[in-house]
Amino acid sequence: MHFYLLTGIVVGFAASILAGRYGRNVNFWFVVCFIFPPTFLVLLALGENQECMPDMQNQAQAMNEYTECPYCAERIKKKAKVCKHCGRDIPPKEINI
């Protein structure tokens, strides 16, 4: 009995860590793997949650397209010449060669 309990706890923690890295529900996978440890193999077979991956790519792309207004600190596009929030002209960025 103690062996099964210890195995469930260890496998449950391992599954919750792996589920967190894969973008899945941590609590669900802990409980399922605690009750039935072989379901850990199912988590390994499923891999990363592909539904949340495009969101991460869109966020990374958006980070490259936007900058912060030097006057009001709101997010604006890098190509903007006037801040849409405060209406002030944005000074051009200098390029060091």
Residue 28 lies in a domain: yes
Residue 12 lies in a domain: yes
Domains identified in the chain, total number: 1
Residue 62 lies in a domain: no
Q: Taking 60 as the threshold, does the pLDDT of residue 78 lie above it?
A: yes
Residue 93 lies in a domain: no
- Please write down the HEC assignment for all residues of the chain: CHHHHHHHHHHHHHHHHHHHHHCCCHHHHHHHHHHCHHHHHHHHHHCCCCCCHHHHHHHHHHHHHEEECCCCCCEEECCCCECCCCCCECCCCCCCC
The predicted model gives 87-91 an average pLDDT of 90
pTM reported for the whole predicted model: 0.46
Residue 21 lies in a domain: yes
Write out the residue range of the structural domain in which residue 12 sits.
Answer: 2-46
pLDDT tens readout for residues 29-59: 888 888 888 877 777 777 766 555 555 556 6
